[in-house]
């Protein structure tokens, strides 16, 4: 599977195999007994839980202690405070998902200036450079995810239909790439469609923004929501309003999988591989601490998920069986 996007500085993607650990690497890491902190946008989402599970396992294998897992609650202020607090605790490395662009750039630069190894997840604030401020960025191929979602939704749209794009207002590499790729794919392959874009600042605004969009464009025939949690909020209000509108989104969370299996609004999911991404991120931290060269951008391809493939996709992404509810809804169990 190929990577279709470019990195935040135009880098070509390196596959996760490039950061595989050899037995010697694990042995050296165990001897060093490093202390690592993880700073996430949230710890509540399925994506974050999977990511954490992947990375914590690798750190365990390598004898590295995870001394803190910070939940920033999507707040730049909280993230800046957390990074400054962690700098004072002098961990050997910090794995951070920058929740914004300019607002958190200086705090991340302070981590590097303090001599702490920094590996980024999903977003690189403008002005921060690999090799100088951070060693590597590990993310999904978000441009590819946007294309998968567009191709999936396109199959549900009649000629000349109106499509809504529900983006994230924060200047964030991952969601920017998805939105740009989604619209580019439709404009290239479905020039007949009529696109309308709106963005939400906070997740709890997503349903409200989509209500306004539907009110202003009653002919709307499909929606793209940039990730699954707000997509489920939109799907819920549509169901309560008695509306049926196909939704394409990113991330195979449990609720999205159930909605898809039920035959709800979710018609197409471009799934990331958060568990595998967590593994790649932790391996990148270990290699960086061992002073081994790492690629500037390590990217994992997305997976196209439909109702027909939701069970095996769930197993692939989550590395565990699909939820019983999904199996029941698909008639695969009692």
Partner 1 sequence: MPPLASVPAESQRPRGKGRPRTVETAAPSLVELLNLVRTEAATTRQELERHSDLGRAVVADRLTLLGELGLVDESELGTATGGRAPRLVRFAARRATILVATLDQTAIGVGVADLSGNLLTEHHEAADLTTPPAALTDRLAALFRWSLERHAAPQGVWGLSLSVPGAVQTGAEGAFLTTTPPIMPAWDGFPLVETLSRRFGVPVWLRSSVETMTMGELHAGAGLGQRTMLFMKVGRRIGAGIVCDGQLFRGAQGAAGLIGSLPVTSGGQSGTLDALAGSDMIQREGLAAAHDGRSAILADIQRRGGEITAIEVAQAAQMGDAASVAILATSGHLIGQVVATLANALNPDLIVLSGSLVQTNDILLAAVREAVYGASHPLVTRDLRIIRSQMGSSAGLVGAARVASEALFAPAFLKEWVMQGRPLAHPAFVDYLGQLARTAPPDPAPPLPPALGPGPSLRPGKEPLS
**Which residues of this protein are in contact with partner 1, per CB under 8 A?**
2, 4-12, 14, 18, 101-102, 126-127, 129-132, 143, 165, 167, 169, 171, 176-177, 180, 183-184, 187, 193-201, 212-213, 216, 293, 295-296
Return d(Cα 259, Cα 272) in angstroms, integer.
18
- What Å distances lie between residue 79 and 49, 126, 203, CA to CA? 18, 17, 17
Which of 206, 322, 220, 324 is CA-nearest to residue 271? 322
CB of 187 to partner 1, least distance (A): 7
Which of 200, 192, 208 is CA-nearest to residue 165? 200
Residue 165 or residue 285: which is nearer to partner 1 going by CB? 165
Residue 275 or residue 297: which is nearer to partner 1 going by CB? 297
CB of 314 to partner 1, least distance (A): 26
Which of 229, 251, 247 is CA-nearest to residue 239? 247
For 250-269, b where at least 16 C-beta lie within 10 A, e where not — what string? Answer: bbbbbbbbbbbbbebbbbbb
Asked if 63 and 87 count as a contact pair (C-beta separation under 8 A), the reply is no
Up-side HSE of residue 329: CA atoms within 13 Å toward CB? 18
Return d(Cα 15, Cα 1) in angstroms, integer.
10
CB of 287 to partner 1, least distance (A): 13
CB of 226 to partner 1, least distance (A): 12
CB of 211 to partner 1, least distance (A): 12
CB of 214 to partner 1, least distance (A): 11
Structure tokens given for 98: 């920058």
Return d(Cα 53, Cα 100) in angstroms, integer.
24
Residue 216 or residue 308: which is nearer to partner 1 going by CB? 216
Residue 59 or residue 200: which is nearer to partner 1 going by CB? 200
Residue 18 or residue 262: which is nearer to partner 1 going by CB? 18
Return d(Cα 72, Cα 116) in angstroms, integer.
20
CB of 254 to partner 1, least distance (A): 29
Residue 33 or residue 129: which is nearer to partner 1 going by CB? 129
Residue 218 or residue 242: which is nearer to partner 1 going by CB? 218
Residue 28 or residue 180: which is nearer to partner 1 going by CB? 180
Return d(Cα 7, Cα 298) in angstroms, integer.
9
Residue 114 or residue 195: which is nearer to partner 1 going by CB? 195
CB of 301 to partner 1, least distance (A): 13
CB of 276 to partner 1, least distance (A): 19
Give the alpha-carbon dihedral of 298, 184, 201, 173, to 10 degrees: 20
Asked if 83 and 125 count as a contact pair (C-beta separation under 8 A), the reply is no
């Amino acid at each position: 599977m190929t990577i279709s996007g470019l990195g935040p500085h135009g880098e070509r993607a390196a596959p996760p195999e490039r950061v595989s650990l050899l037995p010697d690497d694990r042995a050296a890491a165990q001897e060093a007994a490093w202390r690592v902190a993880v700073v996430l946008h949230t710890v509540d989402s399925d994506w974050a839980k999977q990511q954490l599970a992947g990375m914590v396992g690798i750190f365990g294998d390598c004898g590295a202690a995870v001394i803190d897992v910070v939940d920033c609650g999507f707040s730049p202020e909280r993230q800046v405070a957390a990074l400054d607090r962690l700098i004072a605790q002098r961990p050997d490395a910090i794995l951070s998902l920058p929740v914004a662009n300019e607002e958190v750039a200086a705090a991340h630069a302070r981590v590097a200036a303090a001599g702490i190894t920094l590996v980024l997840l999903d977003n690189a604030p403008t002005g921060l450079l690999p090799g100088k401020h951070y060693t590597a960025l590990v993310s999904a191929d978000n441009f590819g995810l946007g294309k998968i979602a567009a191709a999936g939704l396109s199959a549900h749209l009649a000629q000349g239909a109106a499509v809504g794009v529900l983006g994230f207002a924060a200047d964030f590499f991952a969601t920017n790439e998805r939105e740009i790729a989604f619209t580019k794919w439709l404009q290239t392959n479905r020039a007949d469609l009529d696109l309308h874009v709106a963005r939400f600042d906070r997740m709890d605004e997503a349903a409200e923004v989509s209500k306004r969009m539907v009110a202003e464009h009653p002919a709307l025939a499909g929606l793209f929501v940039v990730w699954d949690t707000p997509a489920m909020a939109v799907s819920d209000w549509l169901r309560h309003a008695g509306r049926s509108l196909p939704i394409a989104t990113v991330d195979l969370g449990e609720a999205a999988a159930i909605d898809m299996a039920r035959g709800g609004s979710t018609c197409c999911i471009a799934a990331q591989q958060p568990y595998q991404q967590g593994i790649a991120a932790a391996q990148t931290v270990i290699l960086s601490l061992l002073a081994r060269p790492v690629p500037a951008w390590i990217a994992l391809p997305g997976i196209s998920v439909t109702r027909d493939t939701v069970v095996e996709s769930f197993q692939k992404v989550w590395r565990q069986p699909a939820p019983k509810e999904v199996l029941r809804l698909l008639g695969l169990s009692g």
